[in-house]
Amino acid sequence: MSDVIDEYVKTEYAAGFVTDIESETLAPGLNEDAIRFISAKKNEPEWLLEWRLQAYKKFLEMDEPEWAHLKYPKINLDEVSFYSAPKSIDDAPKSLDEVDPELIETYNKLGIPLHEQEILAGVAVDVVFDSVSVATTFKEKLAEAGVIFCPISEAVHSHPEIIQKYLGSVVPQQDNYFAALNSAVFSDGSFVYIPKGVRCPMELSTYFRINEAKTGQFERTLIIADEGSHVSYLEGCTAPMRDENQLHAAVVELVALGDAEIKYSTVQNWYPGDEDGNGGIYNFVTKRGVCHTNAKISWTQVETGSAITWKYPSVVLRGDNSVGEFYSVALTRNYQQADTGTKMIHLGKNTKSTIISKGISAGKSQNAYRGLVRMSPRADGARNYTQCDSLLIGDRCGAHTFPYIESKHPSAIVEHEATTSKVSDDQLFLCLQRGIDVEKAVSMIVNGFCKEVFKELPMEFAVEAGKLLEVSLEGSVG
């Protein structure tokens, strides 16, 4: 298969640029040739290459944002490799015995079955029959409903008209530094199209896609819900994934056309670095959706991983009566830093948005909520409700809230409630005195604190998320 692709790439390649595409990994550093290399490797049509190059030009004029409440050494893009082929079988661990025992322990605590552990840890298993057959049944069912769910690299070829119409329509190339970077070099990601009036027959989960594509560090996702359709999309997985890339800059674009509804749930548990704050993923994500008339977009996220999280899933409420929701749990511990929140841009009449954010900080971590609610001059009767709660565990961590409210309409109603609390000694002692041990007590208190968000997650995910918090909090009280 790869021979055929290589062959094809070579013919295209003859058209005239110079990068050596025989090599499987691109030398570190970002330049036009690197982008041409990526595009050629993926056998992309000319328009997409042009699009990437255009993004790159814009990127060159931009600076890395410094407004977030985050401290980290500046990323040296000259040291980042922007393309690497999937690792060959020879490099992968041969069995779980070769995998970091700590990782295995975490899998066991989360109750992940053995064969799934192998996939997650990147063990070179021949083929995992279970997940392949599941994926196949799954695809048949979706095809019946007319739902398209495939890697975006595939959709570029199979549905170029949709991609050309919507790619960058919600998050423009120059939206921000990291979005521009992603537009220039994106690796792969999901593409979803739900036809008019169709209710997607199942929750779509990237989990089923694990084997299909190593989407890597610059993931790009595009979801289109056509008029009156409905889809629930799950991203990520509670298990920590093996990943050697430090810089992650993903872009997710959602389009909910008239009367459509998109529910997007994320569990993010990438490597947060060690106890002393060494290593860990830098996660700079741009997620945004556009709601047309009567449409609804709901973001739910549980963020426990990454050394740095910079993420503001947003909704542009363009159509009248459209609804945007953001439910978030962000947990930081050790030296993790999170600056996360949302933007609700009310353009249409009678638009409504709800923001529920729960930040939990432990150890020496810093956890910030940053949110913008904007009511435009024509947003008659628009309403927002924001509730933003922080929970502190210990006395060396920080919680911060940066709410921005811009109201340009006299009839707009914006409510903001914020609380900061500590897991109190009183609460802990009540639990202990009833025989409940410290770790169980903390996890119970924290889960209670997050309840409003967890109830928005699909059932199975909610159970997993609760377990994930429990595992993540281990050892954070003492």
Partner 1 sequence: MLKINNLHAKVEDKNILKGLSLEVKPGEVHAIMGPNGSGKSTLGYVLSGREGYEATDGTATLNDKDLFDMEADERAKSGLFLAFQYPVEIPGVSNMEFLKASVDAVREYQQKEPLDAVAFMKLAREKCQEVNLDQAFLKRGVNEGFSGGEKKRNEIMQMMLLEPEVCILDETDSGLDIDALQVVADGVNACRDPKRSFIIVTHYQRLLDYIVPDYVHVLSDGKIVKSGGKELALELEEKGYGWIDQL
Distance, in Å, from the CA atom of 150 to the CA atom of 139, rounded to the nearest integer, reads: 9
Minimum gap (Å) between residue 353 Cβ and partner 1: 23
Beta strands in 116-229 (DSSP E): 148-151, 190-194, 204-205, 220-225
- Determine which residue in the list 430, 460, 474, 475 makes contact with partner 1, applying CB under 8 A: 430
Smallest gap, in angstroms, from Cβ of residue 454 to partner 1?
Answer: 9
Q: How far apart are CB 342 and partner 1 at their closest, in Å?
A: 21
Of 48 and 441, nearer to partner 1 (C-beta) is: 441
User: How is residue 244 written in tokens?
Assistant: 């050697």
433: contact with partner 1 by CB under 8 A? yes
State the nearest-atom distance from the C-beta of 4 to partner 1, in Å: 56
Provide, rounded to whole angstroms, the least separation between the CB of residue 359 and partner 1.
Answer: 15
Long-range CB contacts for residues 113-122, cutoff 8 Å, separation at least 24: 116/239, 117/239, 119/210, 119/211, 120/210, 120/237, 120/239, 120/240, 120/241, 120/242, 121/93, 121/96, 121/242, 122/87, 122/92, 122/93, 122/242
Cβ–Cβ < 8 Å for 149, 157: no
Residue 452 near residue 327, CB atoms below 8 Å: yes
Site string for partner 1, 228-247 (x = CB under 8 A): --------------------
Among 4, 71, 425, 478, binds partner 1 (CB under 8 A): 425
Which residue from 429, 460, 474, 475 is in contact with partner 1, where contact means CB under 8 A? 429
Contact present, 73 and 277 (Cβ < 8 Å): no
449 lines the binding site for partner 1 (CB under 8 A): yes
Q: Enter the tokens of residue 284.
A: 């700079």
Write the single-letter amino acid at 93. Answer: P
Where on the phi/psi map is residue 430: left (φ > 0), alpha (ψ -120 to 50), or beta? alpha
Q: Which amino acid is at 313?
A: P
Which range, of 71-79, 87-95, 196-204, 434-442, touches partner 1 by CB under 8 A? 434-442
Residue span binding partner 1 (CB under 8 A) among the ranges 134-142, 155-163, 235-243, 421-429: 421-429
How many CA atoms lie less than 13 Å away from 74 in the CB half-sphere? Answer: 7
Alpha carbon distance 132, 144 (integer Å):
19
Among 413, 440, 460, 475, binds partner 1 (CB under 8 A): 440
Under rule CB under 8 A, residue 285 binds partner 1 = no
Q: Considering only residues 31, 350, 420, 427, which one is a binding residue for partner 1 as defined by CB under 8 A?
A: 427
Please identify which residue in 431, 463, 471, 477 interacts with partner 1, judged by CB under 8 A.
Answer: 431
Q: How far apart are CA 467 and CA 255, in angstroms?
A: 32
d(CA 96, CA 245): 21
437 touching partner 1, by CB under 8 A: yes
Structure tokens at 370: 């940053």
Q: Indicate which single residue of 77, 125, 444, 477 sits in contact with partner 1 (rule: CB under 8 A).
A: 444
Please state the closest distance from residue 422 (CB atom) to partner 1, in A.
12
Choose between 322 and 357: whose C-beta lies nearer to partner 1: 357
Spatial CA neighbour of 220 closest among 266, 171, 270: 171
* Interface with partner 1 (CB under 8 A), residue from 110, 360, 445, 465: 445
Query: Residues 96, 104, 418, 436: which binds partner 1 (CB under 8 A)?
Result: 436
Q: Is 451 in the site for partner 1 (CB under 8 A)?
A: yes
Q: How far is the CB of 445 from partner 1 (least distance, A)?
A: 6
Question: Shortest gap between Cβ of 460 and partner 1 (angstroms)?
Answer: 19
CB of 251 to partner 1, least distance (A): 34
Kindly provide the residue ranges of all beta strands, DSSP E only, lying in 20-114, ordered along the sequence. Answer: none
Nearer to partner 1, 97 or 425 (CB): 425
Site membership for partner 1, residue 438 (CB under 8 A): yes
Q: Distance between terminal CA atoms of the chain?
A: 54
In whole angstroms, the minimum distance from the beta carbon of 356 to partner 1 comes to 12
> What b/e sequence results for 277-302 when a residue is b if at least 16 CB atoms lie within 10 Å of its CB, and e otherwise?
beebbbbbbbbbbbbbbbbbbbbbbb
CB of 109 to partner 1, least distance (A): 18
The site that binds partner 1 (CB under 8 A) totals a number of residues, namely 23
Residues that bind partner 1 (CB under 8 A): 424-427, 429-438, 440, 444-445, 447-452
